[in-house]
């Protein structure tokens, strides 16, 4: 079985190292990262330290067809990546997206819904040098997998992904909205403030919970009755009266975690907020659910991107 991770950046590389699958190709546009991995292996540090020998390639070096393609690029790159990857996926193959947001619908337009699967990853990571990635959370490695269509390849994908950590297989909508509630709140606020997830959980509970609960409302409107994250129903935990107390406890393992969107903005790049918090806003509009706080948060991230607001804790007051 031929497998590749397309978009072997921080999260893609860390997942590939955890899978430690000999038939896996690491595909990255970063030539230095590719060269370093081929020369010295792919190294992850932080919660664990592991280095594995890998086969890394540039997209231009890809050839043949793959049984499973794992998509790990930024969401704003999804459609171009999907068009590029289409000829490389076997007719009966599977496209597994590990991106944030709600990416499956757009990918299904290219690959067909029955070839599309979604998987969420619980950890956070950052690339610190060519060939080297640091895991910045201390939660263990939890994955949640679901099928967008029939799911004929679900068992085979689950068998592969179970090597990376604790795997849950379930309803894809509930899996997606569980992760979206966390990303749309913590990642968005971190991009605005520069704060870590734990700092936000301690100092800005009202904002975090306000954003989360808007995502919960959208999830309910889309048929979700529970949102499981690392074995806990976060809709129940953070929708109840003890949410303010539980929030910092739940996020204690994310003391060093800052949003990947924050890193993008600081690097002068456009971030994925339209595909994360913005995805919840769009889904809310389709379902007739108001998301005013999410809308303001998305707009404020764009203000930060465009230099109209600074990355600072005080900027959160504008929400």
CATH architecture for segment(s) 3-170: 3-Layer(aba) Sandwich (3.40)
CB atoms within 10 A of CB 97: 27
Which pLDDT tens digit goes with each residue over 211-267?
999 999 999 999 999 999 888 999 999 999 999 999 999 999 888 899 999 999 999
Torsion-angle region of 56 (φ positive above 0: left; ψ -120 to 50: alpha; else: beta)? beta
pLDDT computed for residue 253 by the predictor = 86
Average pLDDT, the chain: 96
Residue 117 CA to residue 157 CA, distance in Å, equals 9
Residue 70 CA to residue 200 CA, distance in Å, equals 31
Sequence-separated (6 or more) residues with CB below 8 Å from residue 59: 6, 27, 29, 84
Place of tokens 């935990």: 237
Domain 174-318: give its CATH code.
1.10.1040.10
Confirm whether pTM is higher than 0.75.
Answer: yes
Which pLDDT tens digit goes with each residue over 59-68?
999 999 999 9
pLDDT computed for residue 137 by the predictor = 86
Q: Is the confidence at residue 139, as pLDDT, over 80?
A: no
Helices (H), ranges, 184-237: 188-193, 197-203, 205-221, 234-237
Residue 182 CA to residue 274 CA, distance in Å, equals 15
What ranges do the domains of the chain cover? 3-170, 174-318
Q: Which of residues 138 and 52 earns the better pLDDT score?
A: 52
């Amino acid at each position: 079985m031929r497998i590749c991770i397309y978009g072997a950046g921080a999260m893609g590389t860390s997942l590939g190292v955890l899978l430690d699958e000999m038939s896996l190709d690491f595909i990255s546009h970063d030539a230095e990262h590719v060269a370093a991995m081929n020369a010295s292996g792919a190294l992850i540090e932080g919660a664990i330290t592991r280095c594995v020998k890998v086969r890394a390639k540039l997209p231009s070096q890809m050839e043949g067809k793959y049984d499973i393609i794992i998509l790990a690029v930024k969401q704003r790159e999804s459609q171009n990546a999907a068009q590029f990857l289409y000829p490389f996926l076997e007719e009966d193959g599977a496209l597994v997206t590990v991106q944030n947001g709600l990416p499956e619908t757009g990918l299904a337009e290219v690959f067909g819904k029955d070839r599309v699967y979604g998987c969420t990853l619980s950890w956070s990571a950052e690339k610190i040098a060519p060939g080297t990635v640091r895991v910045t959370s201390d939660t263990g490695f939890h994955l949640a997998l679901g099928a967008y269509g029939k799911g004929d390849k679900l068992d085979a994908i689950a068998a592969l992904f179970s090597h990376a950590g604790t795997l849950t297989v379930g309803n894809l909508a509930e899996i997606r909205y569980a992760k979206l509630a966390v990303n749309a709140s913590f990642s968005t606020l971190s991009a605005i403030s520069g704060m870590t997830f734990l700092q936000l959980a301690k100092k800005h509970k009202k904002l975090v919970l306000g954003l989360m609960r808007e995502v919960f409302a959208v999830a309910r409107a889309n048929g979700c009755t529970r949102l499981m994250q690392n074995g806990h129903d976060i809709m129940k935990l953070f929708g109840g009266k003890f949410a303010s107390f539980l929030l910092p406890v739940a996020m204690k393992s994310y003391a060093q975690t800052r949003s990947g969107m924050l890193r993008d903005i600081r690097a002068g790049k456009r971030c994925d907020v339209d595909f994360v918090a913005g995805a919840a806003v769009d889904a809310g509009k389709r379902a007739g659910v108001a998301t005013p706080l999410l809308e303001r948060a998305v707009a404020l991230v764009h203000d930060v991107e465009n230099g109209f607001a600074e990355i600072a804790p005080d900027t959160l007051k504008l929400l």
